[in-house]
Amino acid sequence: MTPDLYAERALLASLLRDPRRIRATLALTGVKAADFGDPGHQELMQAIIDASRDDGLDLTVIDGWNALRRAVEDAAIATGRSSAWVGQIAATPITPSQSAEYAVMVLEGETRRVIAHHAQRIAAAMDSHVPAEQADAQITATRQVLTQLAERWRLDPEILTEAAAEDEADNVLDAPQAPSLLQRGLATLRAPLAFLDGTARTEDRLLASLVADPGQVAEVRDWLDPQDFTAPGRAEIYTALVVLSDRGQPIDAPTVLFEANRQVAISARQADRFMARCAKAEPGHAIPLARDLVAADAAAYVSAQTQKVITAVTTRTATPSAAIGTALATLERLEGPLARLADSRKVTASDSMAYVPPPPDRAAVSGPPEAKASM
């Protein structure tokens, strides 16, 4: 059994062996049968709670103890268990006076399970046909659940979120393994997309389409970021497209390549590949390609972040405040990528306009000062 299940057994055993503590423990901690992870433990706890609600049962005397035990055993038998099973649990080595402490352990286990469950739901939402909307709905629901958990532990959600954000150096969300998790997520989540036959080729198709129809740059730039490109040199080429668009300069493949080379050294092989792809450009395809790129990046980011939350609450010791704070901070981190994904869905290829560069005398000239003066 897991440590959480042993804690559940310890609480059940302490209440069965000293029923005087049942009502006080329930009132103090608010523990419920639903907080137990094991179905059998849930049923037994509910039987204990139900029996203790009998006002005619005096739990300060031995007759009351025996009556409660009989009621609990009858309930166990009714659900397919046995009195021997109840006796086994009652015989668990524990300290009966620690019932409240055991109840807190049970609550901690349930807190971790709830957080992990909702993190998984957020990650699963990215596989839906409307990932941004579904993930946003799950984030809203998760934030409400986390707020309720915080209130149950008598904690302030805002303080927890701020504390988690300020403690990023020690936060599991920023652990050294994060980059490798993200890269694995990208490889896994992008593979099913029909148009993908390699990340670099896909990004080249997108960039070539933007070169062929620069008007699309204005449509994608608000939600397509350079970091969405993962193949070497592609982020710089995209940045060059944005820079040239802002300057109002004519956009063609050699100009874009030259501008990108100012940011990072572009190898001859990369340059040849880019020029060859531009020669076979597909005008009008940039927006759907960019949308899929953002979707894959958002899905990978959500997957990586939610997995870190699950890891934080299931494979390491975390206090309820740390677990809830980490989860709340993660929700805030997810909002940016999901907002970009939602924005990308608002644009369609039919919105694209033909790019018309300004007249030569209005175009900004890029080059040495003396060259500009000679013109």
For 167, 193, 217, 297, 329, the CA distances from 326, given in Å and listed in that order, are 10, 32, 37, 22, 5
Residue range 339-363: average pLDDT? Answer: 61
Q: What is the reported pLDDT for 325? A: 84
- Residue 374: pLDDT above 80? no
pLDDT band at 91; cut points 50, 70, 90: very high
Share of the chain above pLDDT 90, in %: 21
Q: Are 310 and 113 in contact (CB under 8 A)?
A: no
Mean pLDDT of all residues in 188-206? 54
What is the per-residue pLDDT for 46? 94
Helix (H, G, I), strand (E, B) or coil at 294: helix
- Whole-number pLDDT of residue 317: 60
How far apart CA 283 and CA 280 sit, in angstroms, is 10
CB 213 within 8 A of CB 284: yes
How does DSSP assign 240-278, residue by residue? HHHHHHHHT----HHHHHHHHHHHSPPPHHHHHHHHHHH
CA dist., res. 254 & res. 271, Å (int): 9
Could you give the CA distance from residue 193 to residue 204 in angstroms, rounded to a whole number? 16
**Residue listed under structure tokens 């532990």:** 153
Looking at every residue in the chain, the average pLDDT score rounds to 78
Give the mean model confidence (pLDDT) for residues 202-222: 90
CB 354 within 8 A of CB 213: yes
Distance separating alpha carbons of residues 251 and 287, to the nearest angstrom: 18
pTM value?
0.61
Q: Count CA within 13 A, CB hemisphere, residue 344.
A: 29
Instruction: Name the residue with tokens 């018309």.
Output: 356
The token pair that represents 276 in the structure block: 């060859």
Tokens describing residue 149:
């958990």
pLDDT of residue 161: 61
pLDDT value at 198 more than 80: no
Average pLDDT over residues 275-286: 86
Q: Are 325 and 161 in contact, with CB atoms under 8 Å apart? A: yes
Higher pLDDT, residue 351 or 253:
253
